[in-house]
Amino acid sequence: MKRSFIILIAVMAISAKLFAQQTDEKLAPILTVPRSYTVLKTSQPLTIDGKNDDAAWAKAAWSEPFEDIEGKPEKKPATSTRFKLLWDNENLYVYCRFDEEHIWATLKEHDQSIFQDNALEMFIDPDGDTHNYMEFQINAFSAVWDLLLNKPPRNGGPSITDWDIKGLKKAVYIDGTLNNPSDKDKFWGIELAVPLRTFRFGGNSTMPKVGSTWKMNITRVQREVDIKEGAYVKRLGTNGRPMQPGYSCWSVPGIINFHYPERWGVVRFADENETNLQFLNEEGEKLKLSLWKYYYLQQDYKAKNGKYAPTLEMLKKDFPGVSFADSQLIKLVATDLQFVLQAESAKLKIAYSVDHESKFVSKMLP
């Protein structure tokens, strides 16, 4: 409950900042096409030991290097982070490498606030509707916090910490020494085997198959430390409290908030011989971004006016700094307290919608 309260307060503060006096320039960072990754199937066994030396991993492509959470070039992460993914009929396999000269951790118990240490955070939304998704955190002690959210905190979703990943296999390998400031380390590797049956929640009962796509992001929490009396201590800010961590990630949200599932990347499950690794359709992705733009504007409108705009024309009057050139693609149905935005592509034979609780739906057209 404490975690939910902290997240909710942070989301409210961030949203107030995000939605103040919207312009095209301010919206641009959260309206970029998310990254994509093709997950190859493997028939080879993997030993979960935190290393990247199984033959199967040689066939998996590295992700792009992680970037600053807001996508700001001047805030390029000081250390490199990348990952690989594989799958078989039982598990999703994850290998992530964190380059780091000083590897440390303090938390050892399950379901603690692992993000208080340097940590990997992973988010997975199997059906891509922004609701019913998993959050997973792990530190260098391989301590884990796994939780389920039925919708994003911005929409009032609680963190269900009693939920656990049954059958999870995990390992951390450290090229260096843990909690030893007297030397320089190289990296720590995180390897996971996440049972696919884990993702049977929120009405999602199907296992992935070749061609399935999931929304997913992998992120890194990195805290500054000092060395005092032979030990690592979190660096303090001018207020005497530990400084805020740096956040980097694979698919950049464009805002300091990992809980924007529409900003996560798209992973596609493929067979082991797949060679075409690019699969996102540019027209479809741009249409989705148009929907999300009007979703953000509707939330801003309600924050200022106490109700949602009944028409796109009302939104246009309220946001003179935003282009509405794509509004002819969008249909809005709204009351004071609810709305649905809809768009479709005859060329792609697909329709998209997003409602006031950010639930995203895609449906093939006849």
Last residue of a domain, one of 221, 241, 270: 270
Mean pLDDT, rounded, for 189-209: 89
Tokens of 362: 């895609």
In the chain, pLDDT over 70 holds for what percent of residues? 94
The predicted-structure confidence for 35-68, as pLDDT tens digits, reads as follows: 999 999 999 999 999 999 999 999 999 999 999 9
Residue 284 CB burial class (10 angstroms; 0-12, 13-18, ≥19): middle
One domain for residues 231 and 101: yes
Q: Number of folded domains in the chain? A: 2
Same domain, 117 and 195: yes
| pLDDT of res. 21 | 79
**Domain-embedded: residue 25:** no
pLDDT of 12 = 47
Residue 17 above 70 pLDDT? no
Separation between Cα atoms, residue 221 and residue 227, nearest integer Å: 19
The answer to whether residues 291 and 227 belong to one domain is no
Residue at which a domain ends, from 222, 250, 270: 270
Q: Is residue 298 part of a domain?
A: yes
238 and 286: one domain?
A: no
User: In the predicted model, what is the mean pLDDT of residues 187-197?
Assistant: 97
Residue 12 lies inside a defined structural domain of this protein: no
Query: Which band of pLDDT confidence, cut at 50, 70 and 90, is reported for residue 5?
Result: very low
**Structural domain includes residue 27:** no
**For residue 16, pLDDT beyond 50:** no
Which DSSP state fits 206? P
pLDDT value for 318: 95
In this predicted structure, the answer to whether residue 112 has a pLDDT above a threshold of 70 is: yes
- What percentage of the chain has pLDDT greater than the value 90? 90
In this structure, is residue 350 part of a structural domain? Answer: yes
- Tell me which amino acid residue 287 is: L
- Among residues 129, 194, 203, the alpha carbon closest in space to that of 165 is found at 194
pLDDT for position 134: 96
For 207-242, the three-class secondary structure string (H helix, E strand, C coil) is CCCCCCEEEEEEEEEECCEEEECCEEEECECCCCCE
Tokens of 193: 């085997």
Lowest-pLDDT range of 13-17, 165-169, 239-243, 245-249: 13-17
290 and 166, same domain (yes or no)? no
Dist CA 109 CA 144 (whole Å): 8
- pLDDT of 3 reads 52
What does the pLDDT average to over 161-171? 96
**9 part of a folded domain:** no
Identify the band that residue 276 occupies on the pLDDT scale cut at 50, 70 and 90: confident
Q: Residue 2 has what pLDDT?
A: 47
**Predicted local distance difference test score (pLDDT) of residue 261:** 98
Any domain includes 179: yes
Instruction: Tell whether 204 and 142 lie within a shared domain.
Output: yes
* 8 is a domain residue: no
Residues 158 and 238 in one domain: yes
Distance between terminal CA atoms of the chain?
45
Tokens coding 243? 């400084």
Element (H, E) at 293: helix 282-305
Q: Tens digit of pLDDT for each residue in 217-260?
A: 999 999 999 999 999 999 999 999 999 999 999 999 999 999 99
Say how far apart CA 95 and CA 57 lie, in whole Å: 9
Residue 19 has pLDDT above 80, yes or no: no
- pLDDT (mean) for 109-119: 97
CATH number assigned to the domain comprising residue 190: 2.60.40.1190
Q: Which residues form the domain of 81?
A: 34-270
Q: What is the pLDDT of residues 282-326, one digit of tens each?
A: 999 999 999 999 999 999 999 999 999 999 999 999 999 999 999
CB 192 within 8 A of CB 168: yes
181 and 87, same structural domain? yes
Q: Are residues 244 and 312 in the same domain?
A: no
Q: Are 177 and 258 part of one and the same domain?
A: yes
β-partners of residue 147 are 135
Same domain, 178 and 293: no
Residues 288 and 218 grouped into a single domain: no
CA distance 257 to 255: 6
Q: Which of 270, 291, 306 delimits the end of a domain?
A: 270
Lowest average pLDDT, out of 1-15, 75-89, 91-105, 350-364, goes to 1-15
Helix axes 2-18, 282-305, angle to 10 degrees: 90
Contacts of 348 (CB under 8 A, 6+ apart): 281, 283, 284
